[in-house]
């Protein structure tokens, strides 16, 4: 039996065990009132450890698969999913000030009629256009408050939730 076949069988066993675990977690709330707090937190910590380990395994498999397969022109359908390989390089430590200065200059320059010197776009239109170049995924709620703007007026507010923060000892 090949290593891949053994890995597939092991993964199927893990999936089966996870389904069993899911069933017991669904009924978990029945026991939660009488459970010891330390036991509950230990369970959460252990589950988090499993999640981290699975993430590490996935990253290793992902590296091996993408190296072996290379690029895929189109997504490939597999049982229950579509798989594609995309490539991209991480970009960090952006020089935000220089970039916004250059974007602003180009947008202002492109909004001026070269024959008359007249500015054809309003400052608001130029700001709106500049924001099209940014991938804003959130707004800074505290900064909005400085302008007396309530973030909740501009978004759909979900139900508040609490999260466990688990940091593994190295």
Phi, psi torsion values for 92, nearest 5 degrees: -130, 170
Q: Cβ–Cβ contacts within 10 Å for residue 65, how many?
A: 11
3-state SS, one letter per residue, for 139-153? CCHHHHHHCCCCHHH
Q: Is the dihedral of CA 39, 41, 44, 49 positive or negative?
A: negative
Q: What digits encode the pLDDT tens for the residues 75-123?
A: 888 988 889 888 888 888 889 899 999 999 999 999 999 999 999 999 9
pTM of the predicted model over 0.75: no
Domain boundaries, the chain: 3-83, 96-154
Q: What digits encode the pLDDT tens for the residues 38-72?
A: 998 999 999 999 999 999 999 999 888 888 888 77
Q: Residue 130 in contact with residue 104, Cβ under 8 Å?
A: yes
């Amino acid at each position: 039996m090949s290593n891949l076949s053994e890995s597939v069988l092991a993964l199927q066993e893990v999936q089966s065990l996870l389904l069993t675990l899911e069933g017991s977690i669904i009924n978990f709330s029945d026991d939660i009132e009488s459970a010891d707090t330390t036991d509950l937190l230990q369970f959460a910590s252990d589950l988090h450890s499993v999640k981290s380990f699975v993430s590490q395994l996935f990253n290793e498999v992902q590296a091996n698969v993408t190296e072996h397969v290379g690029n895929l022109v189109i997504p490939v359908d597999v049982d229950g999913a579509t798989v594609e390989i995309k490539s991209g390089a991480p970009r960090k430590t952006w020089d935000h000030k220089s970039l916004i200065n250059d974007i602003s200059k180009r947008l202002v320059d492109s909004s001026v009629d070269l024959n008359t010197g007249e500015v054809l776009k309003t400052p608001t239109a130029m700001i709106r256009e500049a924001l099209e170049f940014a991938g804003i995924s959130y707004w800074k709620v505290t900064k909005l408050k400085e302008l007396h703007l309530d973030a909740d007026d501009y978004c759909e507010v979900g139900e508040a939730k609490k999260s466990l923060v688990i940091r593994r000892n190295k």
